A and B are shown apart, each in its own frame.
Chain A
């Protein structure tokens, strides 16, 4: 190799000659000097300032810091696996019952609420309202920021204002009142007490829109302590209800439904079955289940005194009831009821839903005579589910009207809507110098409040509850609040001076008060973690034993107030779906047909068909009901089984919250609006209530009914109400259809439940044997009380759309699971009816009529006996629906709106959202079957019985629905299928449905029940 040479190359002559001037120029970056203002900011300064501002703004934009437990997943936590759901224990806060629930979360958002099986009170049940409440979380019309005078404001401004004014009031000794509904949270009660303790004149007034105040007052008088007893229906062998709709809406229906069902479990021989008599005027869900239902007017509840005098005679207690008027019920019936109760002393229960204290006193007396206290009525661990005190509410209203209240805090209550006398109350509230409303939505009271301090949805905040003394449950947030809401706990703490988070407040309270009451854990953190995990703990806290029964308080109710011949008594009642109206924002609940009337999206005046005939009123005719000075105009609904002199109107309608439904439902040529002329759904009947005599009365003794000449068709999902077809159209003696089959307890005992014989051989070869799992369902008609929790559960689980009033009216509701309600007049005296509920869903027939007729094979049978609908293959001929004898298939007549992106977060990602023009129906929750199968495969274990729970089954408060593998003889469904009560609907068609029903059992003498299979 030659030696390397380093030649130097030059680029120009100047460089070659090494011109010094050139060299100097070349060494500089810029040939010309840059003009820099030595006094102004430099370029570097500018960049530095921009960067600082950007960083500062970013930091500023990140406030407020989210709740610790509700952090979005920046880094993936270990337990979160996309596509797998997590369940968190929590507490339902949608009514004052406080049931335990599990929140099912997928990918960080709650999509389904279910009953918590470990909750000692609700035991796995969750009602329709509770299940529907998850939709409220994704409601864009919630109040998301504090409002001041109706305008959006900031917490700082609102807090400063409120604190200043409160300080002012404290200095002047002004009256401070807190108005709330029943507060189950012990921490919040404590916080309110602390808040109020700073003021000289301060009171906490509890107003229950669905009040049971008379029961509390009566116990105050008879037992010396103001409490609501804990009724133990499961221990009762004889239940006598007086206008107490305990399976529907009264106090704690989920708990009661389960307990009632336990008392009628039909186990053993003779079968265990309580005897239930119900005295009521309107037909309630509870009355529908009663073995003996007696129609009495609200004013006639003096019947209870008749019963008391009969029982007192038997007990040898002298109890004079001079001047007791003759009862409208035959004495023999009363004797029978009295005998039953007397024979079941200590094992009976008399429940009274009246708001009349005297009647409640007599009711206490009856229970006392029978020795039910301490047996079926628990006073040691009483219920806290109704704490309302109507006398206090009345006093507060008077104070407000007199202008004596300086500050009123309304916590999660809507008095302008739920109390009578809207105008005066609104005017009185407007005069309150400091009116603060803490609620979720902009309701009637928020509209008059100076400050609206929104609280987050129950699923987005910490809370606790104590529904029964000593039974504590926790609610944990599963979602970050979408707006700038603040819990009531935090708001009160802020205004009291100590701004801490709700979790801290609850934890502190639990550490101080609840932790010492239990012995299971000795370390608070472990106790707390366990409580959060389980959602519920039981402690030994109980009330002091009340003093002995005060006999001197009992006065017989001797008056029997019947309205004049041409006029009516009036009962205002809550409906299963809407209760006191705070859920009127929820389209699922608005579209849920009432269990009894089957009407959705409207309220109405129920009157008996006899009364309607007499007045020439047809269903849907608008009538005016006048009581005292107030009146409402509502369509009439003809309610069989109702007392002929009673009008009944559901509460909870005509609320500001329902104004949002202007655009609900498909929009087309002949579509009609869901809203009424008043721009709301239904009409508020609260103005007909009366708050007087220390109680909020739901019953009026004299109402006038007049026709208006207009009509308003109701949206009813069932147009034929009877189990019988019109007699002149049926073969003689065969008018009754056999869908509902009944038997009696005696019949069951005598018939010792024959095992079903094996089905007879078929002419056709079984060319598609189902060898693996064969899914099937058993529905116990004896347990079902029509509460409709399953209907909503199914709707939430399966993304069933809401269609609006007009579409329901056109019989195009989309519910996959419906509850058929049938009346039967057979064997009843005139005007009385028997009621039966029948959940009806796709029967997953073995020989499915729908499958053969589909031209494109869009509905086919699975290897596990499921009838499957293939949405994307369906062309929508509707032939399958025509050929379905159960009419359970639902067609997408339109593209139902899915425009609300926020609301769409509630959709179950496991279930397809159907497009227009395709058929859909119950799938037996196939997504849950798949999930359970995959899980069992992952664990390498066989699929256990009960591992698959359908959505309808899971939350059924009465445990009426059972699901499992029919091919395995050891599963619960297989056992139930062998029960003598089992039958199939339309078995004669040989469609071989996979859904079996268990006969309804009435505790009546044999021969009084029809429809033996």
Chain B
């Protein structure tokens, strides 16, 4: 076969695949025994998960005092990790819903795994608000359920309640969206499986998919509607998370810029995490033909754009602090940049503002290793951003008498490691058992930038 390319556009799928090849390529990892590489990765991540489980169990049995918090710094690692994971969870829905609506065809190679990543990240994120409670066994009190305590309801003025609704809505919609998108591929796996448990399991979850025109029609309509429904959530979730801080009166938190700033930061960190994972996955799963340099380049541009947005937000925050004439506000920002935790601030600025500027160069954007390193740095920088926002606003606030400091304990570090363990364990299981590229969708863009040929391929 002769590959005929458009003079203007690069094809999205390389290697001039036939449709059958695509099916085969994506389904191959599901239908063979796991490789040693997978096993070792799984072992490492499940060990990390186990460590996290031990840490959280110990913490719940002993008390929240096993964390390094104090009377002044009431949140630190817990909420930092929460916001970090929610941010990571942002890219998936952005890619699948917003890019879908914008007809960005390159998204088809990455949307499935990005959505899966979203789900796992939101699971990780959702854990923290629960375990950070002094009495996590009463977490259900956040639910406005009918009760016999004089019908005591939750406080609808509290951003934590908004959070609870925002996160749970986001998780549910993301889950449904992801699952609906999976159905045609589940059917493909079902059809390829020999009779047995596997076939009946996939058969059950593919909801009797028969590939008829009517099925496809309904499927695509539902997918479109869900994409429309999920789009506002991309903006709402992190806006609401930001109100945890913005509605407080604490200098450094009390800022109207927070919702757009947090959304930009979330997309920034989410995209970097997707980049990170995709670069590993395409190498390990031999999917270079599907997740191409083109994809990496496109995502790098988004990272660069959001990095600039985040940099702008940093600048505006400082400007507001200086311009407001509020000495407390002024102090918080100067203290961030020059105080005892300034090293954290400069890690944040370095990783989130300075380093991504390299992405202006195409050479860097197309260098997989460089992009990988860079995306890791951005993730570190974004974790520090949340840490800086939370801890440096708290540890030196209004009354100098109450100033304190914060050092994480081993239990907190183990909990952070555990959350990564949970994330990667879930992700590895996903790679192992579900098609990590949307087969049906990628087939639709297979002919992109190629001259149409008559007949079947």
Contact call A725/B331, Cβ cutoff below 8 A: yes
Chain A residues near B164: list those with CB within 8 A: 855
Contact call A918/B250, Cβ cutoff below 8 A: no
Q: How far is the CA of A874 from the CA of B397 in the complex (A)?
A: 24
Contact call B74/A891, Cβ cutoff below 8 A: yes
Q: How far is the CA of A730 from the CA of B66 in the complex (A)?
A: 34
Interface centre among A670, A722, A818 (most CB of B within 10 A): A670
Rounded to whole Å, the gap between the CB of A843 and the closest CB of chain B is 11
Quick check: is A120 within 8 A (CB to CB) of the other chain? no
Q: Kindly identify, within residues 307 to 339 of chain B, every residue whose CB is under 8 Å from any CB belonging to chain A.
A: 325, 327, 330-331, 334-335, 338-339
Contact with A along B174-194 (1 / 0, CB 8 A): 000000000000000000000
Quick check: is A666 within 8 A (CB to CB) of the other chain? yes
Quick check: is B127 within 8 A (CB to CB) of the other chain? no
Contact call A857/B154, Cβ cutoff below 8 A: yes
Contact with B along A736-751 (1 / 0, CB 8 A): 0101000000000000
Q: How far is the CA of A658 from the CA of B157 in the complex (A)?
A: 49
Quick check: is B229 within 8 A (CB to CB) of the other chain? no
Contact call B135/A918, Cβ cutoff below 8 A: yes
Q: How far is the CA of A97 from the CA of B330 in the complex (A)?
A: 50
Contact call B398/A812, Cβ cutoff below 8 A: no
Contact call B134/A917, Cβ cutoff below 8 A: yes
Contact call A731/B158, Cβ cutoff below 8 A: no
Q: How far is the CA of A917 from the CA of B250 in the complex (A)?
A: 23
Chain A residues near B400: list those with CB within 8 A: 720, 722-725, 737, 739, 822
Chain A residues near B6: list those with CB within 8 A: none
Q: B409 — nearest CB in chain A belongs to which residue?
A: A670
Q: How far is the CA of A739 from the CA of B330 in the complex (A)?
A: 17
Chain A residues near B256: list those with CB within 8 A: none
A890 and B63 in contact, given A811-B404, A876-B133 (Cβ under 8 angstroms): no
Q: How far is the CA of A873 from the CA of B158 in the complex (A)?
A: 15
Q: How far is the CA of A812 from the CA of B135 in the complex (A)?
A: 18
Rounded to whole Å, the gap between the CB of B131 and the closest CB of chain A is 11
Quick check: is B75 within 8 A (CB to CB) of the other chain? yes
Quick check: is A728 within 8 A (CB to CB) of the other chain? yes
Quick check: is B101 within 8 A (CB to CB) of the other chain? no
Give the contacting residue for A811; candidates B58, B71, B161; CB below 8 A. Answer: B71
Contact with A along B55-78 (1 / 0, CB 8 A): 000100011111011111011000
Q: How far is the CA of A65 from the CA of B401 in the complex (A)?
A: 54
Q: How far is the CA of A891 from the CA of B132 in the complex (A)?
A: 13
Q: A870 — nearest CB in chain B belongs to which residue?
A: B152
Quick check: is A770 within 8 A (CB to CB) of the other chain? no
Contact call B63/A720, Cβ cutoff below 8 A: no
Contact call A986/B394, Cβ cutoff below 8 A: no
Q: How far is the CA of A242 from the CA of B249 in the complex (A)?
A: 47
Chain A residues near B399: list those with CB within 8 A: 737, 739, 820, 840, 885-887, 985
A875 and B397 in contact, given A666-B65, A728-B338, A730-B330 (Cβ under 8 angstroms): no
Contact call B404/A854, Cβ cutoff below 8 A: no
Quick check: is A613 within 8 A (CB to CB) of the other chain? no
Rounded to whole Å, the gap between the CB of A611 and the closest CB of chain B is 24
Contact with B along A803-844 (1 / 0, CB 8 A): 000010011110000101110000000000000001010000
Q: How far is the CA of A731 from the CA of B244 in the complex (A)?
A: 28
Quick check: is A63 within 8 A (CB to CB) of the other chain? no
Quick check: is B160 within 8 A (CB to CB) of the other chain? yes
Q: How far is the CA of A718 from the CA of B160 in the complex (A)?
A: 30
Q: How far is the CA of A918 from the CA of B64 in the complex (A)?
A: 10
Quick check: is A939 within 8 A (CB to CB) of the other chain? no
Give the contacting residue for B135; candidates A729, A874, A889; CB below 8 A. Answer: A874
Quick check: is A879 within 8 A (CB to CB) of the other chain? yes
Q: B330 — nearest CB in chain A belongs to which residue?
A: A731
Q: How far is the CA of A626 from the CA of B396 in the complex (A)?
A: 39
Chain A residues near B68: list those with CB within 8 A: 810
Quick check: is B247 within 8 A (CB to CB) of the other chain? yes
Chain B residues near A891: list those with CB within 8 A: 64, 71, 74, 134
Quick check: is B159 within 8 A (CB to CB) of the other chain? yes
Q: How far is the CA of A822 from the CA of B400 in the complex (A)?
A: 9
Give the contacting residue for A729; candidates B70, B244, B250, B334; CB below 8 A. Answer: B334
Chain A residues near B69: list those with CB within 8 A: 878, 893
Rounded to whole Å, the gap between the CB of A820 and the closest CB of chain B is 4
Q: Number of contacts between A and B (CB, 8 Å)?
A: 192
Contact call B138/A875, Cβ cutoff below 8 A: yes
Contact call A668/B62, Cβ cutoff below 8 A: yes
Q: How far is the CA of A669 from the CA of B413 in the complex (A)?
A: 13
Q: A885 — nearest CB in chain B belongs to which residue?
A: B398
Number of interface residues of B (CB under 8 A): 60
Chain B residues near A670: list those with CB within 8 A: 66, 409-411
Quick check: is B222 within 8 A (CB to CB) of the other chain? no
Quick check: is B343 within 8 A (CB to CB) of the other chain? no
Quick check: is A719 within 8 A (CB to CB) of the other chain? yes
Rounded to whole Å, the gap between the CB of B67 and the closest CB of chain A is 8
A887 and B133 in contact, given A739-B399, A822-B400 (Cβ under 8 angstroms): no
Give the contacting residue for A879; candidates B63, B74, B135, B405; CB below 8 A. Answer: B74
Contact call A878/B134, Cβ cutoff below 8 A: yes
A822 and B134 in contact, given A879-B158, A894-B65 (Cβ under 8 angstroms): no
Contact call B250/A882, Cβ cutoff below 8 A: yes
Quick check: is B433 within 8 A (CB to CB) of the other chain? no
Rounded to whole Å, the gap between the CB of A252 and the closest CB of chain B is 30
Q: How far is the CA of A811 from the CA of B155 in the complex (A)?
A: 30
Rounded to whole Å, the gap between the CB of A872 and the closest CB of chain B is 10
Chain A residues near B58: list those with CB within 8 A: 669
Contact call A857/B334, Cβ cutoff below 8 A: no
Give the contacting residue for B335; candidates A729, A840, A849, A885; CB below 8 A. Answer: A729
Contact with A along B32-73 (1 / 0, CB 8 A): 000000000000000000000000001000111110111110
Quick check: is B248 within 8 A (CB to CB) of the other chain? yes
Q: How far is the CA of A664 from the CA of B67 in the complex (A)?
A: 19
Quick check: is A160 within 8 A (CB to CB) of the other chain? no
Chain B residues near A918: list those with CB within 8 A: 134-135
Quick check: is A877 within 8 A (CB to CB) of the other chain? yes
Contact call A718/B155, Cβ cutoff below 8 A: no
Quick check: is B153 within 8 A (CB to CB) of the other chain? yes
Chain B residues near A666: list those with CB within 8 A: 62-63, 65
Quick check: is A989 within 8 A (CB to CB) of the other chain? yes
Q: How far is the CA of A730 from the CA of B404 in the complex (A)?
A: 18
Q: How far is the CA of A779 from the CA of B158 in the complex (A)?
A: 32
Chain A residues near B401: list those with CB within 8 A: 718, 720, 739, 818, 820-822, 838, 840
Contact call A882/B74, Cβ cutoff below 8 A: yes
Chain A residues near B410: list those with CB within 8 A: 669-670
Chain B residues near A840: list those with CB within 8 A: 399, 401
A917 and B63 in contact, given A874-B135, A875-B134, A989-B249 (Cβ under 8 angstroms): yes
Contact call B155/A857, Cβ cutoff below 8 A: yes
Contact call A729/B338, Cβ cutoff below 8 A: yes
A855 and B335 in contact, given A669-B409, A730-B330 (Cβ under 8 angstroms): no
Chain B residues near A151: list those with CB within 8 A: none
Rounded to whole Å, the gap between the CB of A735 and the closest CB of chain B is 8
Q: How far is the CA of A873 from the CA of B447 in the complex (A)?
A: 61
Contact call A852/B134, Cβ cutoff below 8 A: no
Contact call A853/B248, Cβ cutoff below 8 A: yes
Give the contacting residue for B71; candidates A723, A813, A875; CB below 8 A. Answer: A813
Quick check: is A734 within 8 A (CB to CB) of the other chain? yes
Q: Kindly identify, within residues 843 to 870 of chain A, every residue whose CB is under 8 Å from any CB belonging to chain B.
A: 849, 852-857
Chain A residues near B141: list those with CB within 8 A: 856, 873, 875
A812 and B334 in contact, given A855-B160, A878-B134 (Cβ under 8 angstroms): no
Given contact pairs A725-B396, A876-B134, A882-B250, enumerate 5 new A-B contacts (beta carbons under 8 Å).
A854-B155, A875-B142, A878-B132, A887-B397, A991-B249
User: Which positions in A face B, CB cutoff 8 Å?
Assistant: 666, 668-670, 718-720, 722-726, 728-731, 734, 737, 739, 807, 810-813, 818, 820-822, 838, 840, 849, 852-857, 873-879, 881-883, 885-887, 889-895, 916-919, 985-986, 989, 991
Can you list 10 A-B contacts (CB < 8 A)?
A725-B331, A728-B338, A730-B327, A737-B400, A875-B135, A877-B133, A879-B75, A885-B249, A894-B63, A986-B398
Q: 4 closest A-B pairs (Cβ-Cβ)?
A: A876-B134, A917-B134, A893-B65, A878-B74
